[in-house]
Amino acid sequence: MSDQQLAAPTPSSTYGAQARTWNWRRALSPTGNAGDAVFRAALFASALVLLLIVAAMIAAIASNSVPSIRAFGFGFLTSREWNPITGNFGALPFIYGTVMSSVLALLISVPLSLGVAVFLVEQAPRRIARPITFLVELLAAIPSVVYGLWGIFVLAPFLREYIQPPLANWFGWLPLFQGTITGIGLMTGGIILAIMITPIISAVVRDVLAAVPMSQREAALALGATRWETTRVVLANGGPGIAGAIILGLGRAIGETMAVTMLIGNRPEISASLFAPSYTIASVLANEFTEASDELYLSALIQLGLILFFVTFVINGAARVLVWSVTRGTSDTARA
Amino acid sequence: MFLSLTIRTTFAFLLTGAVALSAAACFGPSSGGGVVGSGGGGGTVRLQGAGATFPNPLYQKWLSEYGKVNTQAQIDYQSVGSGAGIKQIQEQTIDFGASDKPMTDDELKKAPGELLHIPMVLGAVVVTYNLEGVAAPLRFSPDVLADIFLGNIKKWDDARIKADNPGVNLPATDITVVHRTDGSGTTAVFTDYLSKVNPAWKEKVGTGVSVRWPAGQGGKGNEGVTGQVKAQPNTIGYVELAYATPNKLPVALIKNRAGNFVAPTLDAVTAAAAETIADTPEDMRVSITDPAGATVYPIASYTYILLYKDQKDAAKGKALVDFLWWGIHDGTRFTKEPQYPYAPLPAEMVKRVEVKLNSVVSGGKPLRATQ
C-alpha cells in the first residue's frame, strides 16, 4: 500500500504535509515491518559511521593546521619556499608535483588500461585472456616499496640510458625535455605511478565491459559495424563505469607515497622539465612528519594534508566532468 | 512477527557485544601496560622507550642481551625518529626517549620536569660516492665538500677536487648530489658540520634535521640515499657510518682541522668525543663536529637517551638507570662486533655519565644508591 503511495506522483503540497508530521516509524520502515526497520537502521548507521570518520578527519586536520593558516594565510598556496630552518613554508611546489605526476600517470595509464581491458574482453581467446588477467591482477598486489626498488635499480637506469637521451635529442627544444639527465625525477615518478594504477583501472574496466549486454554487440555487428565500431559502442555503454575506474586509479596515484618518494627526487621546486626532480604532498608528509618537532613546521605539514584532501576533491570532480562529457559525446556519435 | 523479534534481539545482542568489545579495546591496554603502574605480578618492571632510529640496531641488541642479565626488567624500544621521541618524552607517554641531537632550550621548556641527556654511544656521518674507475678513497677538504653540496662545484674534474686528490683520474661529468629527504639526525649532524666549516653554508642553508637543499635530489632514509648513489653514476651523498660499514659503501676521507685526511673509523670517532670533553657543558648538550686533534674524524655526534631527573615510579626509574649503566659499561663490548659499528664513549665521558645517572632520583631519593 505504501509502495503505491510512493510510486504515485505526489503533489508538492503533500510533501509539505509529510514534512510537518515526521513519523520515525514510517521513516525507518516504509513497509511497517520491525525487522526491516532494524535492518534499515543498521545500514544507516554504517553510512553514518563513514561520514563521521571523514568529518572527524577533516576536523582534526583543519584544527591542527590553524597555526600555519594564521601564519601564512593564502600565501601558503602560492609560496614556493619550503625552509624548515627559517620557518617559511609554502605548498605550491608540492601541489604542482602531486598534480603533474598524477596527470602524467593517467596520460600513460588510461590508454594502456583501456587497451588491455578491451583486448581481454573483446578480442582475446579465453586461454590467453585467463593468464593475462591473472598477471595484471598480480601487479596490483605488489607492495609499493617493491615498485620503488625496482624503479631505482631497473626503471631509472633504463630511462637514463635509453629513453631520456633520445627525448632530449629530438624534443630538446621543448622545455619539457631539458636539463641534466639523472633518471630520477618527475618523469620516472609519473611512469612508476602509471604502472601501479594500470592493474586497478584495467581490472575495473574489464569487469565493466564484460557487463555490457551481448545484445549490444550483436546489434552493432548485425548493422554491419566493424570490430572497431562495435568496441566503440561497448565503450560508450560502459562510460560511467570507466569513469569510476579512472577515478579509482587517480585516487591511488595521488595518495601513493613510497614508490614515488623513491623515484621523484624529492625537491620542492617547480621546473618545466620532466627530467628535473619534483616532490608530492604525500611524499613530503611521509618524509618530514616524523622529525618535525616545531609547532609551526608540524602545522604546515598538516595543512599540506588538508590541501591534499582538497586537491583530491577537485581532481576527482574535474575527472568526473571530463569523462562524463567525453562519454556523452561518444554515445551520441554511437547513436547517430 | 516472531521472526522480526528474533532479528531485533539478535541485533541488540550483537550491538551490546560490539560495544563491550570496543570498550575493552579502548580501556584495556591503558590499565594493563601503560606508563602508570609498575606492571602486574612477579615484580617485573615494564619500560617503554622510543626515539632515534640511528642507534636502534644496537639498542635492540642491548635489550635482548640485558633481558638475559636482568630478567626483572622488560624494556621495549621503538625507533620512531628523534623528533617523535622528543615529543613523546615531553608528553610523558613513554618512560625514556632517544634523540640524535640534543633538545633545544625551547623543547626543554615544554617538558613538565627536568630532562637529562645521557650520551650512550657515538655515530658518524660518512660521505659516499659512485665514480667509475676511481679505486682509491676520495679525499675532501671541508670547503670543497660544502661547495659541492651548495652546488657551486658542478663537475667532478673541478680543480679544487683535483687538488685534494692528486693522481686520481676524475671524469669530466656533472656531479649529482644526493641528500636525505626525510627529517633525520644524520642530516642535522652533517649540516652542523658544514655550517661550522663554511660561512656561506651557514648563511644560506643552516643546520637542521630538514633543510632547504640548494642542489641535488633527495632519497628517503639511508637506504634511499644509498640506492640512488649506487644506481646513478657520478653521484655523491652522505649516510650514517653504522649503515655504510655493513653495506661496504665507498667512503671518503675528510680533512680535519689539524689538516689530516681521516677515514671514519670507530677510533677516530671516539677520539673526536675525547677531544671535546673539556668543552662539553654540564648538561651534555654538545656538538662535537669539527673538533681539534690530529686523528679525529670531524663529522661525528653523540646519540642520547632522554629521561626525567625525577622519576615518578621508583621501581621503573631504578630499572631504567640500571639498564643505562649496563649499556655504557658492559654494552660497549657489542660495538666490537662488525654489525654494530657504533663508537663507544671515551673513558672520561663514561665517568661523567656515571655521575649523571647517580643524580637521577625518585621522591628525593637517589635511585642508584639504593641498591
Q: Are B176 and A38 a contacting pair at CB < 8 A?
A: no
- Give how far B219 is from chain A: nearest CA, Å: 6
* CA neighbor of B160 nearest in space, from B138, B177, B178, B179: B138
Nearest CA in chain B to A261: B220
pLDDT beyond 80 at B36 = no
CATH topology of domain B124-279: D-Maltodextrin-Binding Protein; domain 2 (3.40.190)
Q: Matching CATH topology for B2-122+304-370 and B124-279?
A: yes
pLDDT digits (tens, 9 = 90+) for A118-174: 999 988 888 998 898 888 888 888 999 899 999 988 999 999 999 999 999 899 888
Domain boundaries, chain B: 2-122+304-370, 124-279
Residues on chain B bordering chain A, Cβ-to-Cβ distance under 8 angstroms: 1, 3-5, 7-8, 11, 80-84, 86-87, 107, 174, 176, 181-185, 205-213, 216-220, 224, 227-228, 231-232
Q: What is the pLDDT of residue A25?
A: 67
How many other C-beta atoms can be found within 10 angstroms of the C-beta atom of residue A248?
15
For residues A100-126, average pLDDT: 92
The complex scores an ipTM of 0.71
Dist. CA A322–CA B220, nearest whole Å = 36
Q: Directed axis angle between helix A92-118 and helix A295-335, to 10°?
A: 30
Least confident of A232-236, A321-325, B94-98: A321-325
B211, B228, B306, best to mutate vs chain A, most A CBs in 10 Å: B228
* CA geometry: angle B218, A84, A289, nearest 5 deg: 70
Dist. CA B233–CA A184, nearest whole Å = 12
Q: Are A70 and A64 in contact (CB under 8 A)?
A: no
Could you write out the DSSP letters of every residue in A154-201?
IIHHHIIIIIHHHHHHHHTTSGGG-S---S-SHHHHHHHHHHHHHHHH
Q: Are B220 and A261 a contacting pair at CB < 8 A?
A: yes
Question: Bridge partners of B129?
Answer: B236
* CA geometry: angle A144, A147, A151, nearest 5 deg: 140
Q: What is the pLDDT of residue B256?
A: 94
Dist. CA B31–CA B36, nearest whole Å = 8
Phi, psi dihedrals of residue B47, rounded to the nearest 5°: -120, 145
Q: Enumerate residues 12 to 71 of chain A having a beta carbon within 8 A of any beta carbon in chain B.
A: 33-36, 38-39, 42
pLDDT band (50, 70, 90) for residue A327: low
Dist. CA A226–CA A220, nearest whole Å = 8
* CA geometry: angle B84, B87, B88, nearest 5 deg: 85
Residues in A closer than 8 angstroms to B220, CB to CB, are 261-262, 266, 286-287
For residues B183-193, average pLDDT: 91
Cα torsion angle, A259, A261, A263, A264, sign: positive
> pTM of the predicted model, to two decimals?
0.78
Q: Of residues B25 and B305, which shows the higher confidence score?
A: B305
Q: Is A262 on the interface with B (CB under 8 A)?
A: yes
Q: Are A102 and A319 in contact (CB under 8 A)?
A: no
For residue A210, the SS3 value is: helix
Q: What is the pLDDT of residue A336?
A: 38
pLDDT beyond 60 at B27 = no
Residue B249, all three cell numbers: 659503501
CB burial class (10 A; 0-12, 13-18, 19+) of residue A75? middle
- Give how far B289 is from chain A: nearest CA, Å: 19
* CA geometry: angle A135, A141, A145, nearest 5 deg: 120
Question: Quick one: CA torsion of B149, A98, A162, A164, rounded to 10 degrees?
Answer: -70
Sheet holding B235-240, edge to edge: B73-79, B45-51, B96-99, B300-308, B115-130, B235-240, B176-180, B217-219
Q: Are B280 and B286 in contact (CB under 8 A)?
A: yes
pLDDT digits (tens, 9 = 90+) for A43-83: 999 999 999 998 999 999 999 999 999 999 888 999 998 98
CB pairs under 8 A between A and B: 114
Cell match 618512560: residue? B95
User: Strand B115-130 relative to strand B261-262: parallel, antiparallel, unpaired?
Assistant: unpaired
Q: What is the pLDDT of residue B194?
A: 96
- Give how far A170 is from chain B: nearest CA, Å: 22
- Give how far A184 is from chain B: nearest CA, Å: 8
State how far the alpha carbon of A276 is from the alpha carbons of A95, A155, A233, B225, B357, in Å: 16, 16, 41, 17, 51
List own/partner pairs for A7-16 with CB under 8 A and 24 or more apart.
Answer: none
Sheet holding B253-255, edge to edge: B139-140, B253-255, B261-262
Residue type (1 letter), B210: S
Q: What is the pLDDT of residue A21?
A: 65
pLDDT digits (tens, 9 = 90+) for B89-131: 999 999 999 998 899 898 899 899 999 999 999 999 999 999 9
Question: Bridge partners of B128?
Answer: B237, B251
The residues near A197 (Cβ < 8 Å, ≥ 6 apart) are A105, A106, A109, A113, A249, A250, A252, A253
Dist. CA B306–CA B310, nearest whole Å = 12
User: Strand B217-219 relative to strand B176-180: parallel, antiparallel, unpaired?
Assistant: parallel
pLDDT digits (tens, 9 = 90+) for B339-353: 888 999 999 999 999
- State the DSSP code for A315: H
Q: Are A292 and B205 a contacting pair at CB < 8 A?
A: no
pLDDT band (50, 70, 90) for residue A326: low
Of A35, A83, A291, Cβ closest to residue B3: A35
Q: Which domains does chain A have, with CATH numbers?
A: 3-50 (no CATH), 67-335 (1.10.3720.10)
Q: For the domain bounded by B2-122+304-370, which CATH number is listed?
A: 3.40.190.10
State how far the alpha carbon of A179 is from the alpha carbons of A169, B71, B105, in Å: 12, 60, 44
Terminal-residue alpha carbon distance, chain B: 73
How many other C-beta atoms can be found within 10 angstroms of the C-beta atom of residue A151?
29
